[in-house]
Amino acid sequence: MRLSQLFIPTMREVPAEAEIPSHILMLKAAMMRKLASGVYIYLPLGKRVLKKIEEIVREEMDRAGAQEVLMSAIIPAELLKESGRWDVFGPEMFKLKDRNDREFCLGPTHEEVFTDLIRNDVKSYRQLPLTIYQIQTKYRDERRPRFGVMRSREFIMKDAYSFDVDWDGLDVSFDKMYDAYCRIFDRCGLKYTVVEADTGAMGGKDSKEFMVTSNVGEAVIAYCDNCGYAANEEKAECTVQNTIDEEMRPLEKIYTPDVKTIDELVSHLDVEAERFVKTLIYKYKNKVAAVLIRGDREVNIVKLANLLNVSENDVELADEETVKKVTSANVGFAGPIGLKDDVMLIADAEIPAMRNVIVGANETDYHLKNVNYGRDFKADVVSDVRKVVDGDKCPKCGSPLKLDRGIEVGHIFKLGTKYSDALGANYIDENGNEKPIIMGCYGIGLNRIAAAAIEQNHDDKGIIWPMSIAPYHVIIVPVNVSNDVQRDLAEKLYDELSKAGIEVLIDDRDLRAGVKFNDADLLGIPIRITVGKKAEDNIVELKLRREEKPIELKYDEVLGKVK
């Protein structure tokens, strides 16, 4: 391709909203343009990069035995209502109606559509296992679209879904995708870590994210150098919860009662409190007792049992009368309060947000005011969801964790029966029994890979493409196009390399050499071949974008070197 003909409107000044290198460079190097917030147009160079990434992804998915299909971006509302996600997605989903007022959305992801396909067309264990995928445009009305194509509202995802007869089968399908993902990111020249991710409330078993390490990453990764443990922030939050063992601050004496039973407790309810108490519980004689001031009893029993890691039978709730008494007192313990060595908690959904509460041992005048979960409080049975911090103990080996930032480029997830149950995707096993299909889902953001690759491969002059996803491999720069010898040799080289199947650009524009070199650096083409004065002796200069120094080569040596 000739630069004189290529549609490549490079930019000098980019809008201030471009904050990070990949966003700035994709605009400057004319890879893309913004159409609307979070919606982008890909120009020829950007499109070529995307195509390369797409081909790598496709090759590795096919190699892993997955089969490509193509779904529509438009999804009928009924499918998402069946799974309950029509509401779960909330404002992140683009919703629309057709002329007959039927509801649709622009698919943010396609679990329901794939599950629907399989429930209709797969009936027998003989048709399983099966992994199918698509490379297709997704729509998410992100709360905060930013960083260019890194977090956009329209993006291309490779989403794959596996269908197995049992959990062992899912493990096999999952591992195949895991390996395929490693190969994809390796081939794209990315440095990444795989971290454990939260599986959420809906019964998923295993979830891993592929994080490209980068200081502009929006995700936080906690990792342990000692044992190799790595998790995203949400997962690490849950995992370190039981290992918090921070020093208490010096005790501040306040009046506290010596209580062992609910009755005693209630009789002390004139104690001054930091804030209105919603729930109180304490442990005694292997029983967990609770004084509930608000909330649904049944729900709270379950909540407390979970919280304290005891069975529901071990949770006793105060009777209605006590509850009333406590409520009307309008004062009380702004727990949690420890009794002897045990810990007493506020049992309420508000626990994660508990700030400035009172804690202490069951000893008169031996309590702390203004205590915050995590910061000051040894929370050995607390379902604490404070954020992981630098130096928290690794849940595997106890060494201090370190924090890093990452860009989530891929996510693989053992869904289990979440969608097959919701949509009734069942198969008949060898014995004629109907069973739910066991599913996994696997996503990769293609545009995000392009941006992440730039984040990891650039300098102050521009992009430094890894060869595998570079828009072109070689750029030939004749220093002076009005010099016949230089121009002819450059053109000859251009023909020869093109014929050899090398993707080559020639900068045939009548511009100063310095301008052309700057553009070549900005575009990040991995190999630059300069045809200058020594063209007369059939000598050219080859420079790798990644390296400082060029080398001189005889014309005849170029092809061998480049190939």
Q: Which residues bind ligand ATP (CB under 6 A)?
A: 109, 140, 142, 151-152, 155, 157, 408-411, 443-445, 447-448
Neighbours of 65 (CB within 10 A): 14
Q: Which is nearer to Mg ion, 244 or 441 (CB)?
A: 441
Q: Are 344 and 332 in contact (CB under 8 A)?
A: no
Strand ranges inside 61-213, DSSP E = 67-68, 74-76, 94-97, 103-106, 130-139, 154-164, 192-196, 207-213
Choose the one of Mg ion, ligand ATP, none that binds residue 505, judging by a C-beta under 5 to 8 angstroms depending on kind: none
Q: Are 289 and 345 in contact (CB under 8 A)?
A: no
Decide: helix, strand or coil at residue 219. Answer: strand
Residue nearest to ligand ATP (CB): 445
**Cβ of residue 142: shortest distance to ligand ATP, in angstroms?**
5
**Cβ of residue 138: shortest distance to ligand ATP, in angstroms?**
7
Distance CA 283, CA 190 (A): 52
**Cβ of residue 392: shortest distance to Mg ion, in angstroms?**
21
What residues have CB less than 8 Å from 507, skipping those under 6 apart?
Answer: 3, 475, 476, 477, 478, 516, 519, 520
**Cβ of residue 150: shortest distance to ligand ATP, in angstroms?**
6
Q: Which is nearer to ligand ATP, 240 or 449 (CB)?
A: 449
Q: Which is nearer to ligand ATP, 169 or 410 (CB)?
A: 410
**Cβ of residue 144: shortest distance to Mg ion, in angstroms?**
10
**Cβ of residue 421: shortest distance to ligand ATP, in angstroms?**
20
For residue 158 the two structure tokens come to: 């490779």
Q: Which is nearer to Mg ion, 134 or 232 (CB)?
A: 232
Q: Which is nearer to Mg ion, 184 or 354 (CB)?
A: 184
Choose the one of Mg ion, ligand ATP, none that binds residue 109, judging by a C-beta under 5 to 8 angstroms depending on kind: ligand ATP
Instruction: Kindly tell me the sign of the dihedral angle through the C-alpha atoms of 506, 507, 510, 512.
Output: negative
Distance CA 106, CA 480 (A): 52
Distance CA 341, CA 166 (A): 45
DSSP state of 365: T
**Cβ of residue 159: shortest distance to ligand ATP, in angstroms?**
7
**Cβ of residue 13: shortest distance to ligand ATP, in angstroms?**
25
Q: Which is nearer to ligand ATP, 22 or 362 (CB)?
A: 22
Cα separations (Å) of 399 from 226, 242, 402, 415? Answer: 7, 14, 10, 31
Phi, psi of 554 (to 5 degrees): -70, 145
Residue 434's DSSP bridge partners are 428
Nearest Cα residue to 365 out of 251, 262, 276: 251
Q: Which is nearer to Mg ion, 237 or 519 (CB)?
A: 237
Which amino acid is it at 495? D
**Cβ of residue 409: shortest distance to ligand ATP, in angstroms?**
5
Q: Which is nearer to ligand ATP, 384 or 408 (CB)?
A: 408
Q: Which is nearer to Mg ion, 141 or 508 (CB)?
A: 141
**Cβ of residue 452: shortest distance to ligand ATP, in angstroms?**
9
Helix (H) or strand (E) holding 543: strand 539-544
DSSP state string for 86-126 = HHHSGGGSEEEE-TT--EEEE-S--HHHHHHHHHHH--BGG
Q: Which is nearer to Mg ion, 89 or 366 (CB)?
A: 89
Neighbours of 542 (CB within 10 A): 17
b vs e for 235-249, b when ≥16 Cβ sit within 10 Å of the residue's Cβ?
bbbbbbbbebeeeee
Choose the one of ligand ATP, Mg ion, none that binds residue 447, judging by a C-beta under 5 to 8 angstroms depending on kind: ligand ATP
